[in-house]
Amino acid sequence: MRALVIAGVASGVGKTTVTLGLMAALRRRGLAVQAFKVGPDFIDPAFHALVTGRPSYTLDGWMCGREAVRATVARHAADADIAIIEGMMGCFDGIDGTSDDGSTAQIAKWLGAPVILVVDAGAASRSVAAVVLGCETFDPALDVAGVIANNTGGAIHARWVQDAIASRCRAVPLGALGRDAALVLPERHLGLVTAAEGPLTPAHQTRLAEAIDRAVDVDRLLRLASAAEGEGRTGPGDARPPVLAEPADVGRASPGPVRPSPSAARIAVARDIAFQFYYEENLALLREAGAELVFWSPETDPDVPDADGLYFGGGYPELRAKALSTNVAVRRGVRAFIERGGPVYAECGGLMYLAETLEDPEGGVYEMVGVLPAAVRMRPRTLSLGYATVTTTAPSILGPAGTVARGHEFHYSTLERVPLSVPRAYRLTDARGGERVEGYQIGSALSSYVHLHFASNPSVAEAFVRACAGARA
């Protein structure tokens, strides 16, 4: 299996532009490309899927651990010609300032995959080589194999940057993309405008592919990718394990091969513009546990689907608050489903939808499902961001008390104080050791701001499917 990690020296250097362009260029060559994304990201994987025609899977060292990460790559890239793994933030940025836990570098080393470093050269030329050299020497165990410069100002500038890299660095200069605003995807408060909203048109994909083909030596880049199998390159990467995990390497928390299962339960997954943030591995693990998944829209469908359980992921319900509120039949249907004991798992955007009211960014307030007795506000704009370990303190649809899983919070909304009469099922521990209670449990409905990664503990997917099957019985 050939694999490459596309990493950046910082956020905002053009990793996603380069990654999408490279994927599109490889698809044009007839290659099957399997995409992965490092870190707790839902937006970039959706763009990957548009370009590759295959779901993109999240690799997170802190949430899932080494064996689950390696097993995920083994499982989903086995039938692809090449795996392209997009990093997050800067290459070495992770859970804190002293370790590589949760970082792109950690994933690359676990997979034994060469790194292609993306550098914004917009305000530098020879100094770019110093940055690349720093990345090479910062962690000698990391195989920084190539460099793509972005945002160059012209042919001469691009040549200076590449000459500087070639003269001082081990990494191969693979090309330089010039400044081109037409290649950049639009952004909003939590990142890029999402794929479901249509910014990555076929024409845009073509522009990206053509830009990569013009500016980057794709053939040389592919030769570097073969180093993941021990071919071609020598140096620090040689002693690392192969990209694909051996069966004996798969630990308890690792998702194994998908085995067809008879449907134990039917779970309706809300998936539209308002609710679109799901780890693909979560859905895969639910299916493996025996669930039949059906996708629907709380905004546009006339009623709640006939299902044994409901799953509401995150997204941007605040931007669709009026439309969600207007669909009264669905709001009432969800409430009735919960009131008769139907299992519901709702995270982040899903929690916002189950609340009494939701404020949109302009200050409008709209009725939501109303089972969680509190309002959600978007003002003042306050960011909650970080990893969390969840330990259940009571039996729930995710398993018995004491179940442990890991996840991530990322939201600007604020939930008003929930009455103490509403049971809390979670003890959250953040990366700094701080604790608080959360996980609001109303009957068989569980809502939280935390996006859990089920690969951190696949038993939570199994427990949710069992709860839904029990509701069917």
Where residue 173 sits, what CATH number does that domain have?
3.40.50.300
Residue 318 to residue 358: CA distance in whole angstroms: 7
* CA-only gyration radius of the chain, Å: 23
Of 249, 274, 296, the domain-final residue: 249
Of 217, 249, 281, the domain-final residue: 249
**Looking at the domain assignment, is residue 257 inside a domain?**
no
**Looking at the domain assignment, is residue 258 inside a domain?**
no
Same domain, 300 and 210: no
User: Contacts by 380-384 with C-beta closer than 8 Å and gap 24+?
Assistant: 381/189, 381/412, 382/412, 382/414, 383/411, 383/412, 384/409, 384/410, 384/411, 384/412, 384/449
Q: What integer pLDDT is reported at residue 135 of this predicted model?
A: 97
Residue 350 to residue 335: CA distance in whole angstroms: 13
**What's the domain range around 437?**
265-472
Q: What integer pLDDT is reported at residue 192 of this predicted model?
A: 63
Residue 3 to residue 77: CA distance in whole angstroms: 9
Same domain, 61 and 198: yes
Torsion of Cα atoms, 291 then 296 then 302 then 304, to 10° = 30
Secondary structure (3-state) at 101: coil
Q: What integer pLDDT is reported at residue 190 of this predicted model?
A: 52
Same domain, 241 and 271: no
Same domain, 55 and 201: yes
Same domain, 276 and 241: no
Same domain, 148 and 291: no
Domain count, the chain: 2
Sequence-ordered strand ranges (E) for 161-245:
172-178, 187-188, 191-192
Same domain, 274 and 235: no
Q: What integer pLDDT is reported at residue 433 of this predicted model?
A: 86
Beta carbons within 8 Å of 202's beta carbon, 6+ residues apart: none
Q: What integer pLDDT is reported at residue 1 of this predicted model?
A: 76
**Looking at the domain assignment, is residue 260 inside a domain?**
no
Same domain, 283 and 200: no
**Looking at the domain assignment, is residue 431 inside a domain?**
yes
Same domain, 414 and 298: yes
Same domain, 234 and 179: yes
Q: What is the pTM of this model?
A: 0.88
Of 249, 283, 314, the domain-final residue: 249
Active site residues: 348
Same domain, 269 and 124: no
The CATH number of residue 441's host domain is: 3.40.50.880
CA angle in degrees (0–180, nearest 5) for 249-254-255: 120
Q: What integer pLDDT is reported at residue 191 of this predicted model?
A: 60
pLDDT in tens, the chain (473 residues): 799 999 999 999 999 999 999 999 999 999 999 999 999 989 999 999 999 999 999 999 999 999 999 999 999 999 999 999 999 999 999 998 999 999 999 999 999 999 999 999 999 999 999 999 999 999 999 999 999 999 999 999 999 999 999 999 999 999 999 988 778 877 655 566 777 777 888 999 999 999 999 999 999 999 998 644 433 333 333 333 333 333 223 233 444 444 445 578 999 999 999 999 999 999 999 999 999 999 999 999 999 999 999 999 999 999 999 999 999 999 999 999 999 999 999 999 999 999 999 999 999 999 999 999 999 999 888 888 899 999 999 999 999 999 999 999 998 899 999 999 999 999 999 888 899 999 999 999 999 999 999 999 999 999 999 999 998 76
**Looking at the domain assignment, is residue 254 inside a domain?**
no
Same domain, 83 and 158: yes
- Residue 256: phi and psi, rounded to 5, are -90, -170
Total residue length of the chain: 473
**Looking at the domain assignment, is residue 11 inside a domain?**
yes
Beta carbons within 8 Å of 340's beta carbon, 6+ residues apart: none
**Looking at the domain assignment, is residue 255 inside a domain?**
no
Q: What integer pLDDT is reported at residue 473 of this predicted model?
A: 64
